[in-house]
Amino acid sequence: MAEVKNKQVVLKDYATGFPKESDMDIVEGTISLNLPEGSNEVLLKNLYLSCDPYMQMLMSKIEGLEGFGTYSPGSPLTGYGVAKVLESGHPDYKKGDLVWGFTKWEEHSLVPSSQILFKIEHTDVPLSYYIGILGIPGMTAYAGFFEVGLPKKGDRVFVSAASGAVDLLKNKLGFDDAFNYKEEPDLNAALKRYFPEGIDIYFENVGGKTLDAVLLNMRVHGRIVVCGMVSQYNLAQPDGVTNLANLIFKRIRIQGFGVADYYQLYPKFLEYVVPKIKEGKIVYVEDIVEGLEKAPPALIGLFSGRNVGKQVIVLARE
């Protein structure tokens, strides 16, 4: 069997506070490029890896979340990637197929047959889009907004996120308005200024003090779609949210969701979003770094606002 070197990014130890580059190690293992006789696994060459804020939570030890895909010290990080099939014992995939799905932070990955890989059919858009707007992040926004948020015409929508420059959001990405929370000493006052009539849908990516201020500004029958709480993952003691009594009289729904519950909508999602990308109605920005060695600083950079647009790690382009 042909053994080749296989570089990996592994978790050194659980992160506490903000993760640091030193919480990860680059190690060099080996992997066989041939599947054993009778295997139904799939051998992937990883091309693009995604850096996502939720990975910070998986690097930490948070009570109650054991068994929800949290990383183990000594093992490679996992996440979503675009890959090429090198060998396949699985009837649905053959050598040369381009796929995206759950993989590991390493050059080559052996994927068990039980794991979902999405075959890439549209190749007239950049392949890296399948870890971004055409992959989990795009699908998450779609399912969260439409399926969980249940928008009605005229709804006032607030999205919190580590989004970079306000000018980018307003001038390039088409938001009606945007503000930088670091320039707002009183978040409640800021929300009252931007949403004088209150908020119908809050797409929650931040948590903590932002959620607390939003609760004061929700409208009756408002919906809070909880996608993430990035401000909280790095805290040994998360912020206490104090305004939950607003849920009662305003009859607010807070709904945590995971995109995996909505995978069956993926074809419908592609039908909706691919034309919008081609027509320029949805603008998408990427921040690309080259090489697995750049993966740990790229991941850390998410939390200091270093990246502009979706953080992509390129291992190989084909």
Contact segment (CB under 8 A) with a copy of itself among 64-72, 98-106, 161-169, 265-273 equals 64-72
- H/E element holding 211? helix 209-216
Tokens matching residue 262: 């909505």
Looking at the Cβ atoms of 63 and 176, the one nearer to a copy of itself is 63
Out of 62, 168, 173, 190, point to the residue binding a copy of itself (CB under 8 A): 62
Site residues for a copy of itself, 242-281, by CB under 8 A, read 242-258, 261
Among 83, 3, 6, 88, residue whose Cα is nearest residue 39: 88
Looking at the Cβ atoms of 232 and 311, the one nearer to a copy of itself is 232
Looking at the Cβ atoms of 63 and 183, the one nearer to a copy of itself is 63
Q: Provide the angle, in degrees to the nearest 10, between the axes of the packed helices 187-194 and 209-216.
A: 50
Q: State the CB neighbour count (10 A cutoff) for residue 205.
A: 22
> Which residues, at least 6 apart from 211, have a Cβ–Cβ distance to it below 8 Å?
204, 224, 229, 241
Q: How far apart are CA 316 and CA 10, in angstroms?
A: 19
Number of residues that bind a copy of itself (CB under 8 A): 42
Q: State the minimum distance, in angstroms, from the CB of residue 312 to a copy of itself.
A: 23
Helix (H, G, I), strand (E, B) or coil at 179: coil
Residue count of the chain, please give it.
Answer: 318
- H/E element holding 215? helix 209-216
Looking at the Cβ atoms of 14 and 175, the one nearer to a copy of itself is 14
Looking at the Cβ atoms of 43 and 211, the one nearer to a copy of itself is 211
Among 16, 15, 54, 14, residue whose Cα is nearest residue 229: 54
Query: Is residue 283 a contact point for a copy of itself (CB under 8 A)?
Result: no
Bridge partners for 199 per DSSP:
218
Q: State the minimum distance, in angstroms, from the CB of residue 123 to a copy of itself.
A: 33
Out of 18, 68, 177, 297, point to the residue binding a copy of itself (CB under 8 A): 68
DSSP single-letter state for residue 106: B
Query: Is residue 63 a contact point for a copy of itself (CB under 8 A)?
Result: yes
Q: State the minimum distance, in angstroms, from the CB of residue 275 to a copy of itself.
A: 30
Query: Is residue 79 a contact point for a copy of itself (CB under 8 A)?
Result: no
Site residues for a copy of itself, 202-221, by CB under 8 A, read 207, 211, 215-217
Q: How far apart are CA 277 and CA 275, in angstroms?
A: 5
Q: How far apart are CA 306 and CA 309, in angstroms?
A: 10
Looking at the Cβ atoms of 31 and 254, the one nearer to a copy of itself is 254
Q: State the minimum distance, in angstroms, from the CB of residue 241 to a copy of itself.
A: 5
Sign of the C-alpha dihedral computed for residues 32, 35, 41 and 43 taken in this order: positive
Site residues for a copy of itself, 219-248, by CB under 8 A, read 226-229, 232-233, 237-248
Q: Interior CA angle at 94 toward 96 and 115, to 5°?
A: 110
Looking at the Cβ atoms of 229 and 314, the one nearer to a copy of itself is 229
Looking at the Cβ atoms of 51 and 252, the one nearer to a copy of itself is 252
Looking at the Cβ atoms of 45 and 250, the one nearer to a copy of itself is 250
Site residues for a copy of itself, 14-43, by CB under 8 A, read none
Which residue matches tokens 């932002």?
Answer: 210
Residue ranges that bind a copy of itself, judged by CB under 8 A: 54, 57, 62-65, 68-69, 207, 211, 215-217, 226-229, 232-233, 237-258, 261
